[in-house]
Amino acid sequence: MRRFRATLASLFVTTTLVVAGCSSGSPGGNAAQAGEPVSGGSLTWAVETEPITFNPHQYAQAKTRLLVWNTFEALLTHDDKGGYLPWLATGYEVSPDGRAYTFKLRTDVTFSDGTRFDAAAVKANVDQLLAPNYAPAVAAVQLKNLDKVEVRDAATVVFRLRKPDVLILDFLSSPQGAQISPKSLQEAENLKAGGPQLAGTGPFVLDRYTPGQEVHFTRNPAYNWAPPNAGHSGPAYLDEITYRFLKESSVRVGALTSGQVQLIEGVPATDESLISATPGLSLQRGLNSGSTYSYYFNTAHAPFDDVLVRQAFREALDVPAVLAGVYRKTATRAWSVIGPTSPFYDKSLENTYGANAQKANQLLDQAGWTARDAEGFRTRDGKRLTVRLVQSAPFVRDRRDVLAQAVQAAVKQSAGIDLQVQLVDQGTATKALADGAYELFDNSRADTDAGAALNLMLYSTGSINRTGFKNPQLDKLLDDAVATTDQAGRTELYRKVQQLVITDQALVLPLYAPQDQIAASRSVGGVGFEPTAGVPGSAYRLWLGK
Amino acid sequence: MTIALDRPGAARARSLRAPRPGLAAAAVFLVLALLAALWPALFAGDPLAADPLHVLEAPSGQHWFGTDQLGRDVFARVVHGARHSLSIGVAATLIAVGAGILLGLLAGLSHKIADEALSRSFDALSAFPLVLLALLFIAIAGTGTTSLIVAIGMALVPHFARVVRAQTFVVRRAAYVTHAVAFGAARSRLVVRHVLPNVLGPVPVLAVLGLGEAILLAAGLSFLGMGPQPPSPEWGAMISEGRGYLHVAWWASVLPGAVVTATIVALTVAGRFYQRRFEGRELA
């Protein structure tokens, strides 16, 4: 009988080793300047992305993950190797058939509204997630194998699955699996939008949100249940922290260099020299986990229903050239839908396609797009080879709009493809996607387990399957991969998935592995990235040195 | 000690005849801008040719205005952008002039109540900033070049309508009109033959000045993303695209901005000169 017993003692040992062995991006990486951790003070952090919701169950923007963990916490968290550490749960057991996960919960945790955290609260959160029209994507994907949640006693909760699904652990350590006070779930006026009305167990309390401007958190003085890799215990160091939403990168950099804010995230490559040229500022980069930033081809209608055209588009683009233009030398080129830091990454895909204009033109000729119009674009039966990429403004980061224009120019020059880029608001983008009025969809996901991202985007019924590609073989591979507990077995299954979607079907054009950058004043200590996820960490570790 | 005193008459005669450097520069610039709008290929190459290996390069002999974030030649984009920006300005001004004359005549020739209603609505619209009005039209009609032209044209209509109405009031009481009425001229003939030609006097002057305003408004709205969509080279959109790189590559937005400024200054100088000539007086 196999038992996974994650005990606190053994975890403490591993995390101490992990923390000690970390170099870049570790907590206290710039402690030399900020001195020893001190309690008190307030910080302002300028961030690129304003959340479309503060409800963690509705979380969809990787750029807002750093805000989630200030107020909310999950049952488990990740170490920096993709493994699990206890958080609100002290440990878990898996039944031999892989269909029951029993969690032991901490008994000393209260939500900031005074409600006790217990097994009933966990069940209330799952019930809410399964409520109709609340979080359909979570219910349909992450919780699709969940049968029921049983409350055994106040400190014990059992997740019963219909079939084995290792991703349940990833879900319970993700923002969507974060715990909201059951009282808030019942009483909040606008539950889906979240905000000050939603109470969590986190080290900070969200007490003020000014749309379009900033969100403000104050310390939760009762907090004493940090995960073992948090770097310290007890309440947070900072009294308060304000996140200002500054969409323009030049404005963020200016705010930092002029001392209006102490931290910024999202530093474009062109501005990195400004940061390094300013004494008293430091810059850190972290590579995200999950799926790479890629263009997904819509196979539901012409022209990308034809695999030749999909391959041609990929061949038409010299990815390193456009990346060098937009990101200088800071971007890591992606070859697969899975990021190069993931254990499931298939390295054999490297250098198997791309940057071959001649081949692109041959493929397009073969597909019947032989004629050219006055502007040099290819046509077939008098119809121009036009493809649309609809970008939703709240999700645009890292100058992806500029990158799209670079791609636009490149595919026009090399193969006569007319790429039309539309940068629109969220509502317009949602409508375009629902109507199928797009040929390309762009996306990256910072899921800690890449499998979670693939289930959303490649599975035939995945909630962000924008390729419209439905294939029983692919579904089976994805199903088997979550039912397999050993890493080698999962790696082999995901290798087959990548071969199918990248090599055989050319469903995806991978562009780069997303990364985050943090630039900070050297007076700020504890600046770093969330382990495994690679996105900026929460404010719990931060302190303001003298 | 002698003090050179010009006789006022001499100074006036000279200023009307001798070309002033400001005016000459404005005229030359406007001719160049017009040529650029009509035959951009005379001056520059492809405004859309991206070169990822040469992004954000400073102005040089090869790239007079440097290159932008995609390695496109900023000078080529400014030259080709003249067509977008000037045609939007001209088309919008034509809409404003046409609709303004029509509505102004209508108000000036109507009975008291209709005139009041029209005049007060001109006043009400004039009370709003132009940008706000144009944004309102765009919010209703959607973004794109056509709706941008219509929006700016609409926003400028009251401008022209008020002047034409005031002029109509003067003309309809003029002796030649009252005589024509006395001779029994038909109303339509009266308007077309006698009133219209005589109310149009100040309109060309206003139109030149309005053109500058329309171009500025077009650049402003394109800056906000309401105009031609990328990769079209439009001056306002270029300033907007370049502003993220102001720290490292000022030329990508400052030089298109300088061209917008120069165009509007040139149009204003030309318009004012024309205005003085038209009104028959010299301010200098």
Nearest CA in chain A to B49: A409
Quickly state the pLDDT bin for B225 (edges 50, 70, 90).
Answer: confident
Quickly state the pLDDT bin for A12 (edges 50, 70, 90).
Answer: very low
Domains and CATH numbers, chain B: 25-30+54-279 (1.10.3720.10)
Min Cα separation A401/chain B (Å):
10
pLDDT of residue A10: 40
Q: A422 contacts in B (CB within 8 Å)?
A: 229
pLDDT at A28 over 70: no
8 Å CB contact of A325 and B243 = no
Question: Which A-chain residues 385-404 have CB contacts (< 8 A) with chain B?
Answer: 399, 402
The ipTM is 0.75
pLDDT at A19 over 70: no
DSSP code at position A293? E
Strand-strand pairing, A240-245 and A214-219:
antiparallel
pLDDT of residue B12: 54
Q: A274 contacts in B (CB within 8 Å)?
A: 247-248
Could you tell me where the beta strands, DSSP code E, fall in A226-362?
240-245, 263-265, 281-287, 291-297, 332-333
Quickly state the pLDDT bin for B1 (edges 50, 70, 90).
Answer: very low
In angstroms and rounded to an integer, the radius of gyration of the C-alpha atoms of chain B is 23
A27: part of which helix (H) or strand (E)? none
* Residue pointed to by tokens 């495994």: A532
Domains and CATH numbers, chain A: 8-286+516-544 (3.40.190.10), 291-513 (3.10.105.10)
pLDDT-above-70 percentage for chain A: 94
Contact B229/A at CB under 8 A: yes
DSSP code at position B190? I
Contact A506/B at CB under 8 A: no
Average pLDDT, integer, range A231-249: 95
Question: Distance (Å, rounded) from C-alpha A165 to C-alpha A441?
Answer: 28
The model's pTM: 0.82
Quickly state the pLDDT bin for B3 (edges 50, 70, 90).
Answer: low
Contact A16/B at CB under 8 A: no
8 Å CB contact of B50 and A249 = no
Specify whether the CB–CB gap between B242 and B253 falls below 8 A. Answer: yes
pLDDT of residue A88: 97
Question: Distance (Å, rounded) from C-alpha B256 to C-alpha B258?
Answer: 5
Strand-strand pairing, A281-287 and A291-297:
unpaired
pLDDT of residue A341: 86
Looking at every residue in chain A, the average pLDDT score rounds to 91
Query: pLDDT digit string (tens) for A446-456?
Result: 888 899 999 99
Query: pLDDT digit string (tens) for B186-199?
Result: 888 888 888 888 88
